[in-house]
């Protein structure tokens, strides 16, 4: 009987340890990776946001200049990268669905601005069409406005997520409740099994063929 109780306790320990080490441990590692990514993206977006006023003023001047007789005179600009986002695109799911959506939206509009501006700087000399140049400048300004409108609040959200405590997350509370429920269920199972084992009896039946009777003795 003691051996049965020991085995049940060991079984409970293995299951509980497996849950907390594997499920909760993996969840915490993903949380820490997500925090690091949020902090890095917040820094990168802040660096992109710093020259926004200068860039918007420059685009307004370019739109006016594009309609003049002289037209635009731009050197060819390459398409700059966003190293943090480009190397972690597959990991933005660590930030959660809503924040990942915002990150994708902002960076896609930054990419649209860069591609448009690159095309404008590369082809404005060849395309003798003032309306096309103005349309390209306005397209750059629109993409930049969309990135700014959603990007500035996103930076603050990323900063908050980078500093949040693991224990304060609703998903963590859910994990704790699941783990506690499993542990309680296993303990109850062990107690029931222990009671069943301790209440069990060994019975022996003796048959008296001469008298035609049988007697059962339990110990």
Q: Name the more confident of 190 and 141.
A: 141
pLDDT digits over 38-54, tens only? Answer: 999 999 999 999 999 99
Q: In whole angstroms, what is the distance from residue 96 CA to residue 117 CA?
A: 32
In this prediction, residue 13 carries a pLDDT of 61
Structure tokens at 48: 């992109």
DSSP 8-state class, residue 20: I
Q: What is the mean pLDDT of residues 48-64?
A: 94
pLDDT digits over 164-196, tens only? Answer: 887 766 666 666 666 666 667 666 666 665 555
Q: In whole angstroms, what is the distance from residue 145 CA to residue 14 CA?
A: 55
Q: What is the mean pLDDT of residues 13-32?
A: 71
Cβ-based burial of 153 (10 A; exposed 0-12, middle 13-18, buried ≥19)? exposed
Domain residue ranges in the chain: 2-187
In this prediction, residue 153 carries a pLDDT of 97
pLDDT confidence band for 109 (50 / 70 / 90)? very high
Question: What are the two backbone dihedrals, phi and then psi, of residue 201, each rounded to the nearest 5 degrees?
Answer: -130, 150
In this prediction, residue 24 carries a pLDDT of 72
Distances 155 to 9, 54, 159 between C-alpha atoms, Å = 49, 19, 6
Q: What percent of the chain has pLDDT over 90?
A: 52
CA atoms within 13 A on the CB side of 36: 8
In this prediction, residue 2 carries a pLDDT of 47
The pTM score is 0.72
DSSP 104-120: HHHHHHHHHHHHHHHHH
In this prediction, residue 115 carries a pLDDT of 96
Structure tokens at 125: 């000399």
């Amino acid at each position: 009987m003691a051996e049965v109780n020991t085995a049940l306790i060991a079984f409970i320990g293995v299951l509980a340890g497996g849950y907390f080490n594997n499920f909760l441990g993996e969840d915490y590692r993903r949380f820490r990776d997500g925090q690091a990514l949020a902090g890095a993206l917040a820094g990168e977006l802040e660096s992109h946001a710093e020259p926004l006023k200068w860039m918007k003023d420059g685009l307004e001047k370019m739109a006016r200049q594009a309609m003049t007789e002289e037209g635009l005179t731009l050197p060819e600009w390459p398409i700059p990268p966003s190293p943090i986002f480009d190397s972690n695109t597959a990991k933005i799911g660590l930030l959660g669905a809503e924040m990942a959506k915002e990150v994708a939206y902002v960076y896609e509009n930054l990419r649209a601005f860069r591609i448009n501006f690159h095309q404008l700087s590369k082809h404005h000399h060849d395309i003798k069409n003032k309306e096309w140049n103005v349309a390209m400048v306005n397209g750059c300004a629109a993409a930049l406005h969309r990135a700014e409108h959603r990007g500035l609040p996103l930076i603050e959200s990323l900063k908050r997520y980078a500093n949040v405590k693991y224990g304060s997350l609703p998903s963590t509370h859910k994990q704790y409740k699941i783990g506690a429920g499993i542990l309680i269920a296993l303990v109850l199972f062990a107690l029931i099994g222990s009671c069943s084992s301790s209440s069990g009896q060994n019975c022996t039946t003796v048959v008296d063929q001469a008298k035609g009777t049988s007697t059962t003795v339990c110990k």
